[in-house]
Chain A
């Protein structure tokens, strides 16, 4: 690997065009090719040298990231006046443009309106340095406290669950070897030796006494009667980094709990269990993938089950369905991959159930509600393709319940809920998809019974969206200025800039803005030059932006001083350049001529 890189190292030199561009940018035209070549080699060498020194400061600053201050210090070492005023930004976007047979990288400098800066409220004062102590280890054992990293990082949990053969923890390994020494049969030992037969290590899920106590406390609190305790327990599940050993128990607890309580129609307990699922999903240190097969059925049950409570007419089981549907959507988002395909499988499940109740009028409204809720939480695309086409039929069915002969109260409540659910979810989707104007008749024609209501909802949604957009605009206006780099503006405007239309670009920012290819080639080359700096810095393992930042102006300074001639011997940089035995006087003469 190193060998591959080495030849490159000697060859990375700034292109001579960049030298010309530099010279032009400070008003020196017609630099001879030879001088350019000499300059570019020299400058590349000096930049490398400075970068190397800057690295030293980075190491002693105990950082892994080179900053502009490191380069300032390195310049100071060389007796060069540092370039003050550059700040290290996390990210300096080099924009790319091509056209007219050229490929360019450039760095866009935005114009900053001073009044904006003045008017923006001051940022908060950064907090002062403070000292905090914690136990990293107690007699060789790392306590599982929030200050310490989780005992098993997510990655390890993942490898353990996916590749149990590879991920053998030291403890287990030991256990294995002991086993081998003690009781392994000779055949087994042989097999191990040969490496032909590899035993899957037995993973133990024994919990320590403390963990057992914790598990007991937590589960009791979660399903107990004290709400304050429950909140605490859920908080603990959501944040504690050391839960992964208990995860199988929790997941079994939840799935069994749901199974039992659905049969018993115990709404409260179901809600508690769903909240536990939520808390588990919120915990960033847990690798839940392994337990989805238990959790997802439980959640789906809570969405589409016919009956979740003893008195369906009074209890608010709808809220549970909504909550579970949101959970489902969240888990789809987090865990869906190309291999497990959770999202599409869930969608299919819901659609299947939904199809069944679509065809069958006798299906419970509760199940129907659950399906629609589950589907609509999965996003606007799903709503558009799966729910909108069925609005008419659904509307007719709701109409039949509400207008028709007196049916059971339960059905009526169910129909009401389905209606409001449909209106809620479909309105926002239609508002986005459907062009104006919102005509009631048109809606009725398209969506049947629900049409007029939908129409009014859509109008409302549109108004709200407009209002929100306004607010967003206002807030962004106040905060955009101080951090111009965070948003990468689309380079479309630039791509379309054709040769011969330089007037479109703002003149003050000439430095880095691409000019027409025909007239001003200077900036083009400068950009090329910058790109090559990037290359150098990459070989030196530096953060390119910082180098480029300083190097550009250093270059300019150097050229400027060379250009002004030898008259100013106090300038250290000039001395440097002349000491390179570059024909500085020659360059100067040419410049003057």
Chain B
């Protein structure tokens, strides 16, 4: 019974911590900050020196902040930690937590957050030091960083480059001395036990194997038991699920303590607790077993490095678990997926449909008003009906509609009436655009929404834009020529164009590395491209020149995308941080940190209030643009995610990964249910998903890089022909 109470206590404490932090609004930190092993609850593993050590770390951070004149953050941190002002005056060395082994965990959220942030800082060493409150709060866009987020940013900026002490802190948690010879025995013992439990618990408890295996191996490596580590690895690596093979490979190459420093995978394991979901019954079974056997080694690892999300109810089956597992850090926590997501669409602005329509013109005078009314009504009723799931219209500020946008919207509506209904019996036509002579250099493709332009990003750092309509691409005249134009004339928009520059394609030079991401603005005036050189560039499609180079990512930027309403865009790359930008700010408005590996794809929700990012850590995260919080962590893919798509109504999401599967997510609704399968469940395509497959169309020798449905439901595809 004691075990039960303990578990409950743990849960309660966790909840407390979590709610606190969620109130802070720092969702990214939240994901990693609390755990059953933290100071207050993890009674067993806590060494007597623990709290003192925590304080020391905190003090070190404070001092560091102070030295860098970040008084605001110092205040905040101090207030939250409840420290007196004079405490930090005592000379505490930077590496307070470094040298001293024997400290199992840094504990308090300050420390953990710090280590997490330092992880971030490893990836972004040179963030501008002032990307805080002041630079954004006062600007035209009333988007602000929440205080604690702000704090996060500044710490990132300040501690850039000096990650050494933190790494040591992180690593020192492994310095527990146990007899290395016993490790295989411990593991084997647990294995035997789990194999002998009831079937219904076995699948759940088997989840423990992988994280346990990794942490035991790392512990062995850290304590310089190289040979034992190798043997341990060889003995048990075969037992792990096949989808962890990639990680195991990285792990296997790490055989020395020196390798652990700076190894990203290792740090991921240490800084982020592996999340498991286990039913209460199974958990107690495990706990009782470990306590009976006095198997402290394993118990310690479970306490310190794993986050066990206990739920009441039936234990899950193997297939249920398999559907959710596979990510680098286990499943998403239930709490992380609880926030409400307003997935509905924003109300369309009411636009008067002009009467210059050809068929309407053909109609006689009397017919006109009749015709007009019902049409307007139908539109009006559609837009007036506020979707209960939609966010408030002004939840985030959106750019005003210009006249040209309205014209475009009208065009869109007209086209939409000609849309072909698709279905199993009515398959779309596919028009394939082949890039010839690309010499395997095509890396990204995008179509404009009206399908009039195609842009391609190439490995030779160029961006090329093609017009696929008879309308050629023209540049605006030079300033001198422009001054000669009669500005009052009706066709001024035509006149400013330089006929001499008309051509079917234009090349944009400016990047200094392969272009990996490309995105048109919805109004077709701009083009974004992200590249290996760490920049995102904004190009004007009027002048065909580069307007801004957004610097912030210091590593390759894998993907970028415009918001469906323009103005905002998102970028994500190797530094594991997704950034939200506005085109008129040279610094990011939001930084979404939390992914444990490269962000490989980014996508805006159709209502522009949320952003989805897919990552090589095999999770998809949904971020709230307003608060910067992570509102969903979707796990289930077994390989790096490489493409994302929202359904036009914003309710579903589809994701594709290198594991060869496409998952369809219905994860934004009914989260109040505690039934996790519904909460973050993707619609798992059954084995006979062949039935859902409507058609396969082979290309000759052309990998398909991009797909796009036109407004009339014609499918466009693009790829480079590789003879």
Residues of A at the B interface (CB closer than 8 Å) are 2-3, 6-7, 9-11, 41-42, 44-45, 48-49, 52, 56-57, 59-63, 65, 69, 73, 77, 126-140, 142, 147-149, 540, 579-582
Determine the distance from Cα of A291 to Cα of B47 in the docked complex, in whole angstroms: 83
- Chain A CB within 8 A of B3 CB: no
A56 to B265, CA, bound (A): 14
Please encode chain B, from 628 to 648, with 1 for each CB lying within 8 Å of some chain A CB and 0 for all others. 000000000000101000000
A-B contact pairs, 7 of them (CB 8 A): A61-B443, A61-B514, A77-B555, A130-B437, A131-B505, A540-B249, A580-B258
* Interface bracket on B: 35 or more
The reply to whether B234 and A10 form a contact with Cβ atoms under 8 Å apart is yes
Q: Mark B213-256, 1 if CB is under 8 A from A, else 0.
A: 00000000000000000100110011000100100111011111
A137 and B427 in contact, given A48-B253, A73-B513, A130-B436 (Cβ under 8 angstroms): yes
B593 in the interface (beta carbon within 8 A): no
B434 and A147 contact, CB distance less than 8 A: yes
> Which positions 531-586 of chain B face chain A at CB distance < 8 Å?
532, 555-556, 558, 574
Is there a chain A Cβ closer than 8 Å to B485's Cβ? no
Identify the closest chain B residue to A135 (Cβ).
B431
In the bound complex, do residue B427 and residue A132 qualify as a contact, i.e. CB atoms below 8 Å apart? no
User: Looking across the interface, which residue of chain A has its beta carbon closest to that of B466?
Assistant: A131
Binds A, one of B73-81, B392-400, B697-705: B697-705
Contact A131 B435 (CB under 8 A): yes
Instruction: Point out the residue from A6, A56, A59 that lies within 8 Å of B237, measured CB to CB.
Output: A6
From A3, A52, A61, A131, contact of B454 by CB (8 A) = A131
Whether B242 and A2, one on each chain, are in contact in the complex, defined by CB atoms closer than 8 angstroms, is yes
Main secondary structure of the interface of A (DSSP, over half): mixed
B448 at the interface (CB under 8 A from A): no
CA distance A63 to B441 in the complex (A): 9
- Given A7-B234, A57-B532, A63-B440: A138 in contact with B429 (beta carbons within 8 A): yes
- Chain B residues lying within 8 Å of A45, measured Cβ to Cβ, are 253-256, 259
A63 CA / B439 CA spacing, docked (Å) = 11
Asked if residues B703 and A62 are in contact (CB atoms below 8 Å), the reply is yes
Decide: A73 and B556 in contact? CB cutoff 8 A: yes
List residues of chain B with CB within 8 A of the CB of A11: 230
State A161–B505 Cα separation when bound (angstroms): 48
- Tell me the complex Cα distance, A339–B438, Å: 43
CB-based contact A6/B248 at 8 Å: yes
* A140 surroundings in chain B (CB, below 8 A): 426-428, 694-695
A132 CA / B459 CA spacing, docked (Å)? 20
Q: Tell me the bound Cα distance from A573 to B238 in angstroms.
A: 36
B516 near A60 (CB under 8 angstroms)?
Answer: yes
A56, A60, A133, A149: the one within 8 Å of B700 (CB): A149
The answer to whether A126 touches B695 (Cβ under 8 A) is no
Complex: how many Å from CA A11 to CA B237?
A: 14
The CA-CA distance from A3 to B242 in the complex, in Å, is 9
Contacts of A6 in B (CB 8 A): 233-234, 237-238, 245, 248-249, 252
The interface bits of chain B over 513-537 (1 if a CB of A lies within 8 angstroms of the residue's CB, else 0) are: 1101000000000000000100000
Which residues 604-619 of B sit at the A interface, judged by CB distance below 8 A? 616
For the complex formed, measure the closest distance between the CB of B644 and the CB atoms of chain A, giving whole angstroms: 15
Q: Does B202 contact A (CB under 8 A)?
A: no
CB of A142 within 8 A of CB of B249, answer no
Q: Is the CB of A136 within 8 A of B699?
A: yes
Residues of A within 8 A of B234 (CB): 6-7, 10
- Tell which of B253, B436, B439, B694 touches A49, judged by Cβ atoms closer than 8 Å: B253
The 6 A-B pairs at the shortest CB distance, nearest first, are namely A140-B427, A3-B238, A136-B430, A136-B432, A137-B430, A10-B252
Best-surrounded residue of B694, B695, B705 (most CB of chain A within 10 A): B695
Tell me whether A139 and B432 are in contact (CB under 8 A).
no
Q: Are B250 and A134 in contact (CB under 8 A)?
A: no
Note all chain B residues with C-beta closer than 8 A to A131.
Answer: 433-436, 454, 466, 468, 505
Given A60-B443, A61-B459, A148-B700, verify A135-B454 contact (CB < 8 Å). no
B456 close to A (CB within 8 Å)? yes
Q: Does the CB pair A147–B443 fall under 8 Å?
A: no
A10, B233: Cβ atoms closer than 8 Å: yes
Task: Check if B464 is an interface residue, CB within 8 A of chain A.
Answer: yes
Contacting pair B437 A129 (CB below 8 A): yes
Known: A2-B245, A136-B717, A137-B695. A129 touches B435 (CB 8 A): yes
Are A60 and B558 in touch, CB under 8 angstroms?
yes
Which residues of B lie under 8 Å from residue A138 when comparing CB positions?
429
B574 is contacted by which of A59, A63, A77, A540 (Cβ under 8 Å)? A77
B40 within 8 A of A: no
List residues of chain B with CB within 8 A of the CB of A49.
253, 263
A549 → chain B closest CB, angstroms: 18
Q: Decide yes or no whether B658 CB sits under 8 A from chain A.
A: yes
B624 on the A face (CB < 8 A): no
Cross-interface CB contact of B436 among A41, A65, A129, cutoff 8 Å: A129
Determine which residue in A2, A62, A148 has the highest number of CB atoms from chain B within 10 A of its CB, and name it: A62
Known: A42-B256, A73-B556. 19 other contacts (CB 8 A): A6-B234, A7-B234, A10-B253, A52-B250, A61-B514, A62-B442, A62-B705, A69-B459, A73-B532, A129-B436, A131-B433, A133-B432, A133-B434, A134-B432, A137-B427, A140-B428, A148-B700, A580-B258, A582-B258
- A11 (CB) vs chain B CBs: closest residue: B230
Q: Is B261 an interface residue (CB 8 A)?
A: yes
- Nearest-Cβ distance from residue B658 to partner chain A, whole angstroms: 7
B109 at the interface (CB under 8 A from A): no
Q: Give B241 Cβ to nearest chain A Cβ, in Å.
A: 11
Contact: B253 with A134, CB < 8 Å? no
* Residue numbers in A under 8 Å from B438 (CB-CB): 129
Contact of A126 among B263, B428, B439 (CB under 8 A): B439
Q: Which of B253, B259, B434, B598 has the most CB of A within 10 A?
A: B253
- Please report the C-alpha to C-alpha distance between residue A148 and residue B435 in the assembled complex, in whole angstroms: 15
B191 to chain A, nearest CB (A): 16
A147 partner residues in chain B, CB cutoff 8 A: 432, 434, 700
Name the residue among A45, A57, A129, A132 with the largest chain B CB count within 10 angstroms: A129
Contact B700 A579 (CB under 8 A): no
**Which residue of B has the minimal Cβ distance to A141?**
B427
Q: Which of A127, A133, A137, A580 has most B Cβ within 10 Å?
A: A137
Q: How far is the CA of A74 from the CA of B469 in the complex (A)?
A: 40
- Nearest B residue (CB) for A131: B466
For residue B458, CB closer than 8 A to chain A, the reply is: yes
> Would B430 and A135 count as touching, CB distance under 8 A?
yes
Known contacts A10-B230, A62-B703, A579-B261; decide if A132 and B254 are in contact (CB<8 Å): no
* Residue pair B697, A136 in contact (C-beta under 8 Å): yes
CA distance A100 to B436 in the complex (A): 52
CB within 8 A of B256: which of A41, A59, A540? Answer: A41
A149 touches B699 (CB 8 A): yes
Q: A582 to chain B: which residues have CB within 8 Å?
A: 258
Chain B residues within 8 Å of A10, by CB: 230, 233-234, 252-253, 255
Which B residues, 356 to 388, have Cβ-Cβ distances below 8 Å to chain A? none
Nearest-CB residue, chain B, relative to A1: B242
CB-based contact B555/A581 at 8 Å: no
| Cβ contacts under 8 Å, B249 to chain A | 6, 9, 540
A139–B426 touching, CB < 8 Å: yes
B250 to chain A: closest residue by CB: A52
Q: Give the distance in Å from the alpha carbon of A134 to the alpha carbon of B719 in the complex.
A: 12
Q: Name the B residues within 8 Å of A148 (CB-CB).
A: 698-700
In the bound complex, CA of A168 to CA of B47 (Å): 69
Per-residue 0/1 for B660-703: is the Cβ within 8 Å of any A Cβ (1 yes, 0 no)? 00000000000000000000000000000000001101111001
Instruction: State the Cβ distance, A283 to closest chain B Cβ, in Å.
Output: 16
Chain B's nearest CB lies how many Å from the CB of A68?
A: 13
Nearest chain B CB to A272 CB, angstrom units? 31
A131, B439: Cα distance in complex, Å: 13
Chain A residue contacts of B434, Cβ below 8 A: 131-134, 147
State the CA gap A139–B433 with chains docked (Å): 17
CA distance A582 to B249 in the complex (A): 24
Q: How far is the CA of A69 from the CA of B233 in the complex (A)?
A: 33
Q: Are B440 and A133 in contact (CB under 8 A)?
A: no
* B367 CB → nearest A CB, Å: 34
